Amino acid sequence: MPTYSIGQAARVLRVSTETVRRWADAGRLPSGRDGAGNRVVDGAGLARFVRERAAE
């Protein structure tokens, strides 16, 4: 599954990058680090998060 940068995830979710970072810090949105040390969001985790938000 592909990974998304914080900026890419923010565009998909239509929120700010800071919101994505807060959600990731809180454990609501699964994230990790790429080889360069940048935070990335797993594509499967992002899709699951979108589905869960739509169900709210």
Q: Which CATH code of 1.10.1660.10, 4.10.140.10, 3.30.110.30, 2.40.420.20 fits the domain covering 3-55?
A: 1.10.1660.10
For residue range 9-33, list pLDDT tens digits in order. Answer: 999 999 999 999 999 999 999 999 9
Structural domain boundaries of the chain? 3-55
Q: What is the mean pLDDT of the chain?
A: 95
What's 28-55 look like in SS3? Answer: CCCEEECCCCCEEEEHHHHHHHHHHHHH
Confidence (pLDDT) at 39: 96
Place of tokens 């594509």: 43
The answer, yes or no, to whether residue 7 has pLDDT greater than 80, is yes
